[in-house]
Amino acid sequence: MGETSAPRSHGNANASDYLAAERTFLAWIRTGLAFMGFGFVVARFGLFLQELRVVAPAVQNRLGGAHSVWFGTALILTGVLIDVFSCLHHVNLVGQLNRGGTEFTRPSWAGVALAIFLGIVGLAMAIYLVSV
């Protein structure tokens, strides 16, 4: 008896390759949305601190609201960039799968860049919280 295999319609890629690419894409989208959501919360908290200063001037708070607004906005824009670049990467990867080629021999530079960025942001937040 001869082996029968499922027909492949796109190069050497099979359905599991496309589904893996889809899962990775959705994980990047969730990461971008998390950045945007967290940035929104940080920015709104900064606006709350600014209004608290106006309503209750006697209340002395050490954290400045303006910094939170800028930091929150930066997080929102980072989330947008993550989503845009993940879309471009996903379209490129599916195109490679359709042509039968892959570039899985190199690390995910977007993941490495995001990890470095998160490390820098975390360090900056820690320094800011300790110094204020």
- Residue 4: pLDDT over 50: no
Rg (CA), the chain: 22
Each residue's pLDDT tens digit, 64-81 = 556 777 888 888 888 888
pTM of full prediction above 0.85: no
Cα–Cα distance, 43 to 66 (Å, whole number): 9
For residues 104 and 60, the answer to whether their CB atoms sit within 8 Å is no
More confident residue, 125 or 98: 98
Q: What is the pLDDT of residue 66?
A: 63
pLDDT per residue as tens digits for the range 46-105:
777 667 677 766 665 555 556 777 888 888 888 888 888 888 888 888 888 888 766 665
Cα–Cα distance for residue pair 15/101, rounded to 1 Å: 15
| CA–CA separation, 28 and 33 (whole Å) | 9
In angstroms, rounded to a whole number, what is the distance separating the alpha carbons of residues 27 and 81? 14
CB atoms within 10 A of CB 93: 20
Tell me: pLDDT of 5 over 80: no
Q: How far apart are CA 31 and CA 36, in angstroms?
A: 9
**Residue ranges per domain, the chain?**
15-101
Residue 1 has pLDDT above 50, yes or no: no
Mean pLDDT is highest, among 27-31, 69-73, 105-109, 121-125, for: 27-31
